Amino acid sequence: METLSTSHAHGGVQGVYRHASLATGTDMTFSVFVPPHAEGARLPVVWYLSGLTCTHANVTEKGEYRRACAELGLIFVAPDTSPRGEGVADDPQGAYDFGLGAGFYVDATQPPFAAHYRMWTYVTEELPALLGAHFPADPSRQSIMGHSMGGHGALTIGLTFPDRFKAVSAFAPIVAPGRVPWGQKALAGYLGDDRDAWRRHDAVALIEDGARMPDMLVDQGDADPFLEEQLQTHWLEEACLAAGQKATIRMQPGYDHSYYFISTFMEEHVRWHAHRLKGL
């Protein structure tokens, strides 16, 4: 693992790192904020998955999470959204919603993407092992959050591993990718025509099929330009209500899809995670 940069913030250290990933077959870059802590302490971890076109840098630079994480003693981890580098396949038309920057947190099965697009394995297996080896992380206290495509990833991972993640939150998530254009394009391109495989990466379908998680918090802006076509938050509300899944789903008046929205509610989400990870 190579350290690309470290900066002191709120008594902790914000780092950016790179390593050669076995899962993706590429170099992968990620960021980690480690709060001030006593020597030998093991700290709870909040994972943050970013959205379409983003890298680790978007939330690292704009997310405004460090003060709360430093106060509450939380490690904050932000991976990239897709493999990158020479030989990594991209959308043939160069579209923003598929290929580079749009890995959708799945393990692709379709050529040419299957060679590198293994973001599910990277986020759920490889990067957690690396984090445990190099940082003071407590694997028994983890939660996950994300934005847009990353909100989709956080919800599906949380529903798949409810014993690992104590809580899940999301900003403007793609709740039912199998029903909207962004998700249909990505799931077909990465996973092919197997709709059962799609359901394993669709939060609403997972809940309908019996998956549950300990707790869920979702914030969605009512001025989000993607709400009606791509996000359809009401489908998640309806699925949770029908299944008895514990969830707080809030529509925030006037907010859009940007980091102005995310940064407004980030501290509240961090504190919500801390309460479930540490009882704070």
Average pLDDT over residues 172-188: 98
Token output for 17: 């790192």
Report the range of poorest mean pLDDT among 214-223, 247-256, 270-279: 270-279
Token output for 193: 């025509």
Residue 186 has pLDDT above 80, yes or no: yes
Domain 2-278 has CATH 3.40.50.1820: yes
How many angstroms from the chain centroid is the CA of residue 237? 20
What φ, ψ does residue 4 adopt, rounded to 5°? Answer: -90, -35
The owner of tokens 């984090």 is: 131
pLDDT at 278 (0 to 100): 84
What φ, ψ does residue 196 adopt, rounded to 5°? Answer: -65, -40
DSSP state of 39: T
The owner of tokens 């077959």 is: 25
Q: CB neighbours of 142 closer than 8 A, spacing ≥ 6?
A: 44, 45, 46, 47, 128, 164, 165, 166, 277
Q: Distance between CA 118 and CA 53 in Å, rounded?
A: 17
251 half-sphere exposure, CB direction, 13 A CA radius: 12
Mean pLDDT, the chain, whole residue set: 97
pLDDT at 118 (0 to 100): 98
Q: Name the active-site residue from 148, 169, 202, 219.
A: 148
Q: How many residues does the chain have?
A: 280
Active site residue 224: yes
Average pLDDT over residues 36-43: 96
pLDDT at 1 (0 to 100): 94
pLDDT at 50 (0 to 100): 98
pLDDT at 279 (0 to 100): 74
pLDDT at 150 (0 to 100): 98
pLDDT at 67 (0 to 100): 98
pLDDT at 275 (0 to 100): 96
Average pLDDT over residues 146-158: 98
Active site residue 263: no
Active site residue 257: yes
Q: How confident is the model at residue 280 (pLDDT cuts 50, 70, 90)?
A: low
| Spans of all domains in the chain | 2-278
Average pLDDT over residues 212-217: 96
- Per residue in 193-204, pLDDT (tens digit) is 999 999 999 999
The owner of tokens 């799609």 is: 198
Q: Distance between CA 81 and CA 54 in Å, rounded?
A: 7
The owner of tokens 């989000």 is: 224
Q: Name the active-site residue from 201, 257, 269, 273.
A: 257
Token output for 70: 């430093």
| Residue 112 CB coordination number (10 Å) | 12
Q: Name the active-site residue from 107, 202, 215, 224.
A: 224
pTM above 0.95? yes
Q: Distance between CA 89 and CA 91 in Å, rounded?
A: 7
What φ, ψ does residue 82 adopt, rounded to 5°? Answer: -165, 165
